[in-house]
Amino acid sequence: MTQAPATPVVTTTADAAVDPTAAVKQLGDVTLPLARRTRGWTGSVIDASVSLLASRTNDIVRFGMGAPAEQVVPAADFAEFLGTMTNPSSYTYGPTEGETELINAICESEDLTGPRTVDPNRIIVTSGGMQGLDLAYKMFVNDGDLVAVESPTYTNGSSTALSYGAEVLQIPVDDDGMDVERLARDVETLGRKPTAIYVIPNFQNPSGVTMSLARRQRLLELAHEWNSVIIDDDPYGSLRFSGEYIPSFAELSPDDPLVFSARSFSKIIAPGLRVGWVEVDPAIRQLLINVRQAMDASAAVPSQQLVAHYLTRGGFTEHLDMLRTAYHRRKDAMLEAAAEHLSGRVELTNPDGGFFLWATLIGDAADIDARELFETALDEGVAFIPGEAFSPAGEFSNAMRLCFASSTVERIHEGIARLGCAIEVQLSRS
């Protein structure tokens, strides 16, 4: 996708270009005793884009935030079910590990956990996928440990590793996912083994690529050689619309305590419900519940009951089929529009599922800084996330993440045409 740096790229919180804490550390004559880890929390450019767009008044086609299309969120069904939740037990504390009905529904759904029998003792319900990642790092990562991540990566996830004091080793991604042989070489060069390896194996955020079966198997081998935990973050896996199903790490290596799977309903039901789950070896489940109790009591009970109802009432596979069909169409529309409006200036990935395309500026547009293009694009009426937002080391200044999931086919054509105009304007300024 992009020329990979020759030597290992390792980022720590001390590398933060700007110290986000500087402005609030000295307040009048008070020096706040801010923890060192706050220096690494530069914030999520991805999440910040929501408030940035809210301040614009012109019409903007939104390829930025990775949110499901509004039209596919079954809000009316939710409202109907919530109207029946009149028992106060729906609004009290629930078990930390999650509502039993939801855990059982997750285990029984082939769409969610693949073609296998899953022991409910492997599952803990979380407040979204992010909490699963937080629990994983909290449980396994000490200050100064090495954590390998993909490059580009979902930086909300790598920032969590940084917040626990990890040093983040960035491994390039190509069309088959993380380059695991490069990971092996970098580990040898550094003379340090990673405590954890964070991967998004299906329709990766942001690149859209999927890790091949051979690489998954090799990564499992390396994890066992080094005793590293694989943090398998897969919120998009049920959204495959083309290509062959590839088994998950938990399927390839059953009963493997080194596999920690983080999942979410955010992309397949609705992100505002904040419900996800983790699958772990039953031997560490109680410890994980203890870890989680130092964080919160449980995921929101009404949200869990709503999701459980949605999974068990019938029609969940049909709901996913509807999403897959819609997103396939939208991805094709984005590629078609790009062929018409961005030809020779942008190289795109072609994912088999999920939400995102990764666009690299090429040809006469190769030197455009995507952050500058972003400002121009907003004026032209289209938003994306600049590539640097997906790199702890600030790489990919000439790339963009484009979310095809949230906009209709017509809006996608319009938005890509506007992006073509924005590139034109940007070139005319240089």
User: Residue numbers of the site for ligand PLP (CB under 6 A)?
Assistant: 66, 128-130, 154, 157, 200, 205, 233, 235, 264, 266, 271, 276
DSSP annotation string for 115-145: SS---GGGEEEESHHHHHHHHHHHHH--TT-
Lookup: tokens for 418: 């506007």
CB of 145 to ligand PLP, least distance (A): 20
CB of 287 to ligand PLP, least distance (A): 22
CB of 154 to ligand PLP, least distance (A): 4
- Is the peptide bond prior to 201 cis by the omega test (within 30 degrees of 0)? no
Q: Do residues 186 and 165 touch, judged by C-beta distance below 8 A?
A: no
Q: Spell out a b/e string for 32-50, using b for 16 or more CB atoms within 10 Å of the CB, else e.
A: eeeeeeebbbbeebbeebe
CB of 67 to ligand PLP, least distance (A): 8
Q: Do residues 248 and 279 touch, judged by C-beta distance below 8 A?
A: no
- Is the peptide bond prior to 33 cis by the omega test (within 30 degrees of 0)? no
CB of 233 to ligand PLP, least distance (A): 5
CB of 120 to ligand PLP, least distance (A): 21
Q: Do residues 124 and 278 touch, judged by C-beta distance below 8 A?
A: yes
CB of 45 to ligand PLP, least distance (A): 13
Q: Spell out a b/e string for 115-153, using b for 16 or more CB atoms within 10 Å of the CB, else e.
A: eeebeeebbbbbbbbbbbbbbbbbbbbeeebbbbbbbbb
Amino acid at 186: D
Terminal-residue alpha carbon distance, the chain: 25
CB-nearer residue toward ligand PLP: 172 or 235: 235
